Structure 1
């Protein structure tokens, strides 16, 4: 689906409540949902082997990993075919989701020692699998992307996270899912700095071909920075003209570029820009992103707001009124 096609849908009519469920917003994922619901490994394997890009495989692995209970049939599949890296990679992804669900999204000071113990146990379990997979398949994009999450959660540090990203990017340059994970790592909340976060976003955007998703990292970096501020600085940050101009430039070379290649992460990328522009009060700039989205949205970064669906509808109404 192209952004132009989805934009027409957005202008012709939108649902009062957006969907944040990737299975609803991306109909191409329907066979994976059915396979997971049935615990059908053969159908799951057929789905993944039919995908035509590392980006889609990584995206689908993340979506599958978020489904409760899939570890049961993935464990069986991994046991039945121990030499096959696919069930092991998907199983490790599920373990990572279980770990982060255990930890929750609260700051570390609000996470109990018991939660941390269980969180780290899941991540170590996943890491052991992924070390083997990456040794067997150094080009395995979803496995390396998953190892950015285990590196962060296990506190392995910035250098190790960058090493893992570099190993992945040597085979898959401009891999957006991995770039999003590395961006989280270089933010101050995980031991980095705002200089590093904005620098990474600019680095990835300038290195990528025009029309890639990478420009959305600029929006994500600004949203992370905004989240970290308090009081007047928090309110003023995204309204700043220099921030607005930075967002405009990034949007022009990415999701608004005539060579834009949407893939399955177009909803994530447009959501980042729509939210960042809206929070800054730049509704004319937000309008093309909401027009593209229609009634679709990505949970991240909208989950940063208290009532994501209500906020989306409010800002979408303001933005589309400018068209």
Structure 2
């Protein structure tokens, strides 16, 4: 799988172009909880998740954080950062390549994240990003019976449409974690139904990518693998994928403007979809939109340890100029 879960190259921008991460890091270092909370709370829903991903990747694991009582959002911020740190401690390898020490360190940090995220529900229950991180924590360590349903209810009650929170819910239901192929696709389609903008259509693209990953690298059922391979070669599947991209383009051009995180999620996932299923004409506009801000996931699924190198190669194949820097 081309080094599927290898470590990130230092040259890769783990903030994925999010311009709020640098000032966020400064606020963390200064212990300015009021400023950090205001910055976070002022971002669009999906961008809050993306912001904490970048800050969590670029802070030292276990770094001191502002006082929890400095802003109502600090519990959610601290919980989200502890989740990112827990995932870093685990690493990105499959379970059979993850050591006992990695698992134990992850579990300890994830327990802190759980406590903080649970407390945050009392302070900022309408923060959909908070519930997205609660789903991510459940995905990483599992949870009590009925807990995923409770988080789903809290996400719906937030009143916010958050594509990255829906992605977290969908990933929880993926076959490589706690669900199945059918449950994963159903989660994507539920989130797409009546969605406020084009970015939610990319959840279906990600579901197909996750299905490809599962069927080519993780599933041991030969008949299921064969059925998947036959499906993706069919004219019906190719038409369905094309129709999704056409609908995305129509809604992208004529619907509400996407936030930075929404656009990043949509273009990166649709681009990887068309890398997997070899459609340069459809790939090209998404590569153009991504520019130098590729997302480690899902590009790492196909590019392994060097996402920028694959981006450069695919741009050349599509007749796009090489990125500077």
TM-score normalised to structure 2 length: 0.80
Superposed, 1:249-288 pairs within 5 Å as 249-254=243-248, 256-257=250-251, 258-265=254-261, 266-288=263-285
Distance 1:158 1:180, change over 3 A: farther
CA–CA separation in structure 1 for the residues paired with 2:38 and 2:179: 40
CA–CA separation in structure 1 for the residues paired with 2:153 and 2:259: 23
The residue that corresponds to 1:69 in the other structure is 60
The residue that corresponds to 1:54 in the other structure is 45
Superposed, 1:1-323 pairs within 5 Å as 21=13, 23=15, 25-36=17-28, 40-49=32-41, 51-69=42-60, 71-74=62-65, 76-78=66-68, 81=69, 84-156=71-143, 159-209=146-196, 211-230=197-216, 238-254=232-248, 256-257=250-251, 258-265=254-261, 266-305=263-302, 306=304, 307-320=306-319
Deviation at 1:136, TM superposition (A): 3.3
CA–CA separation in structure 2 for the residues paired with 1:39 and 1:255: 43
Residues 36 and 70, structure 1, Cα contact 8 Å, conserved in 2: no
CA–CA separation in structure 1 for the residues paired with 2:38 and 2:125: 22
Residues 165 and 178, structure 1, Cα contact 8 Å, conserved in 2: no
Distance 1:273 1:67, change over 3 A: same
CA–CA separation in structure 2 for the residues paired with 1:304 and 1:117: 25
CA–CA separation in structure 2 for the residues paired with 1:291 and 1:150: 33
Residues 268 and 297, structure 1, Cα contact 8 Å, conserved in 2: no
Alignment partner of 2:159: what SS? Answer: coil
How many residue pairs get matched?
A: 298
The residue that corresponds to 2:220 in the other structure is none
Alignment partner of 1:66: what SS? Answer: helix
Deviation at 1:125, TM superposition (A): 1.1
Deviation at 1:295, TM superposition (A): 2.8
Residues 145 and 165, structure 1, Cα contact 8 Å, conserved in 2: no
Residues 61 and 85, structure 2, Cα contact 8 Å, conserved in 1: no
Distance 1:243 1:308, change over 3 A: farther
Q: CA RMSD in A?
A: 2.9
CA–CA separation in structure 2 for the residues paired with 1:22 and 1:109: 25
Deviates more, 1:193-202 or 1:40-49: 40-49
Deviation at 1:21, TM superposition (A): 2.3
Residues 194 and 225, structure 1, Cα contact 8 Å, conserved in 2: yes
Q: Which runs of at least 4 in structure 1 moved beyond 6 Å after TM superposition?
A: 234-237
Distance 1:206 1:45, change over 3 A: closer
Uncovered stretches (5+) of structure 2, i.e. residues with no partner? 1-10, 218-224, 321-325
Q: Residues 64-118 of structure 1, C-alpha deviation per residue, up to 9 Å, x if partnerless? A: 22222274331x422xx27x43222211112111211121222223323332222
Deviation at 1:145, TM superposition (A): 1.4
TM-score normalised to structure 1 length: 0.81
Alignment partner of 1:21: what SS? Answer: coil
Uncovered stretches (5+) of structure 1, i.e. residues with no partner? 1-18
